Amino acid sequence: MLNALYQNLDPVAFSLGPLVVRWYGIAYVLGFVCAALVIWRLARRWRVSVDADALLTIMLCVIIGIILGGRLGYVLFYGNGYYLAHPLEILAFNKGGMSFHGGLIGALLSGIVAARLTGIPYLTLADMGCVAAPLGLLFGRLANFVNGELWGAPTDLPWGVVFGGMAGEMPRHPSQLYEALLEGVVIFCVLFALSRRLPPRPRGTFLGVFLILYGCFRFLVEFVREPDAQLGYLWGGWLTMGQLLSVPLVVVGIAVLVYAVRMKEPQQGLPEMKQI
């Protein structure tokens, strides 16, 4: 314990009178801003027609989808019956509780609306969104660490972190940082590198790779992440809800990637180009 690392970060970034700005909220804003910039740059590189109005439409649809999907996903996947007895709490966003898997489903569904409104092929839009998404995951997981939430299992490794509070005084895996590295940095680097190829890889390639990588990384990190207290382990002393929800992502990702490779549909609006 003498060499333990203590997390004493303040979840509140700053306050102005009654206005309190938290790092978690800043993470969401940064994630959406960076996503918009990445989509804008990719659209120009891939020669997909995305003007300012189309970009605003895309981002509004995705923001709504992520927030509603993330909240409903948490209620359904992690509520453990609590919200059936307290339905008004479903709208209590200020008390926390968001699910990535629910947010992903919400983003994919809202992408259908955005694709129809902008005229961009759905898989092209999903591909661009998947290249941008890891940056949001990076900021979100860093905010989880600052909040001292979603901590890992106890560990005696030298980088174990003491979060205090409900996490107790034992060092724990900083699983939030593991996820920030794998789900944020690694996935972004892989997808960004793939996106540099011209002409771009077929529609659906990036969606498939994202689902596979995220599902695998999340499944692995769950081994050193403390399960949600209201659920615990679902089976065998190791299976968590996060792992259960991640398996379908890998399966769907493989199916999408196979479809992309077989169909070889080009991204929208690209004339023949030399590969560089």
- Half-sphere CA count of 148, side-chain side, radius 13 A: 18
Q: Spell out the residues 6+ positions from residue 136 whose beta carbon is closer than 8 angstroms to its own.
A: 27, 28, 31, 32, 34, 35
Measured between alpha carbons, how far is 178 from 41 in angstroms, rounded to an integer?
Answer: 28
**Which pLDDT score is estimated for 39?**
96
**Which pLDDT score is estimated for 198?**
86
3-state secondary structure at position 98: coil
Measured between alpha carbons, how far is 154 from 125 in angstroms, rounded to an integer?
Answer: 41
**Which pLDDT score is estimated for 193?**
96
**Which pLDDT score is estimated for 276?**
36
From residue 161, alpha-carbon distances to 5, 14, 203, 238 in Å are 5, 24, 42, 22
**Which pLDDT score is estimated for 105?**
95
Q: Which residues of the chain fall short of a pLDDT of 70? A: 1-4, 94-96, 269-276
**Which pLDDT score is estimated for 167?**
87
Is the dihedral angle over the CA atoms 118, 119, 120, 122 positive or is it negative? positive
**Which pLDDT score is estimated for 87?**
78
Q: Is 23 exposed, middle or buried (0-12, 13-18, 19+ CB in 10 A)?
A: buried
Buried b (16+ CB within 10 A) or exposed e, 50-64: beeebbebbbebbbe
Q: Which of 32, 77, 74 is nearest to 55 (CA)?
A: 32
Measured between alpha carbons, how far is 216 from 232 in angstroms, rounded to an integer?
Answer: 21
